[in-house]
Structure 1
């Protein structure tokens, strides 16, 4: 329990678990569940890789540029896909999340070795502040959505329908909430 290292490992575990569940959602029979599950899995595993404490693995500067390019490309792909497919309420959030990841990776690439990007800019840039406000609001909103939902009634009047793990909307919301919390934590350390 040495402060930031322990928090980093907790973020790694949280993001890897969220990425793993998003991979499970790719097998869902519900189109809405599959529509962004791959991109969310990429975000979860990418966030896990970015959260590994620097004392354990200090990546070279070029790795941050690769992260920025991968997340920027994924954001562009998600934006194009969102424009071509039916609109889902989480598409804008998904695109913003990928752009936030590209922004954080770019900030880390621009920072001198051994420092955080915030220390070199003399404070938090406007983009970081806007993302912090957005993600704080998103975490509160998504947390409120996890309130208990009524049971789904089946076609036989009153019988409940068994729902597969990849189709459970409350788990998808919990997954997005956990990644929102992780993004908020990563933005705070930027």
Structure 2
């Protein structure tokens, strides 16, 4: 991608770590979570590969169309899965953003990682708005909810009743949200560089 190498490497590390965690989440006993984690792992590793600073590695010309095909297929899979749940629509938007970035990079002169002179296109702006909203909403959802009464904070009913059934660390919804939040933050870092 564009820009200085240090932030690029931080983005590579964030996306690769997120992808690795999502691979571990694929060991879940819940099939739906395994499928979602697989798509998120693909997204994390794809973003990590795209974010490698151009000073270190410039991908061959065939890489960008290959990214577009892979993430186009991931987008079609997310569209098909969206029939069973709305949360797959976020995966669809993420895959579409990856296809968009790959096509922009494929169309850049000599596949160089340079800034365009025409400013941010409308699609880039729309994706930035979407991912900003997603980051803010997901961040708020990660804040623990504690009911406050006259006598002080009261934990949620599930915790007060013994916490409910134990779940594996890969099945915890807050960790899955944190994973998606990390990738959305990465997308916010990558999109302005287009």
Tell me which moved more, 125-134 or 157-166.
Answer: 157-166
Verify: 1:170 aligned to 2:174, yes or no: yes
Partner of 1:138: 134
- Contact 1:25-1:33 at 8 Å conserved across structures: yes
Displacement of 1:104 = 0.3
Displacement of 1:172 = 0.5
Partner of 1:93: 90
Displacement of 1:168 = 0.9
Q: Following the alignment from structure 1 to structure 2, what is the Cα–Cα distance between the partners of residues 132 and 159?
A: 41
Displacement of 1:33 = 2.1
1:95-114 equivalences in 2 (<5 Å): 95-113=92-110, 114=112
Structure 2 length as normaliser, TM-score?
0.86
1:47-66 equivalences in 2 (<5 Å): 47-66=47-66
- Contact 2:68-2:102 at 8 Å conserved across structures: yes
Q: Following the alignment from structure 1 to structure 2, what is the Cα–Cα distance between the partners of residues 57 and 138?
A: 31
Q: Following the alignment from structure 1 to structure 2, what is the Cα–Cα distance between the partners of residues 159 and 12?
A: 40
Structure 1 length as normaliser, TM-score?
0.87
1:24-103 equivalences in 2 (<5 Å): 24-83=24-83, 86-87=84-85, 89-103=86-100
Answer with 1 or 2: which has the greater Rg: 2
Q: Deviations over 1:84-142 (max 9, x none)?
A: xx21x3211110100100100110000013343x505x111111111011111111111
Q: Following the alignment from structure 1 to structure 2, what is the Cα–Cα distance between the partners of residues 152 and 183?
A: 36
Q: Let me know the Cα RMSD of the aligned residues.
A: 1.9
> Structure 2: 5+ residue runs without aligned partners?
146-154
Select 1:158's aligned residue among 157, 161, 164. Answer: 161
Displacement of 1:151 = 5.9
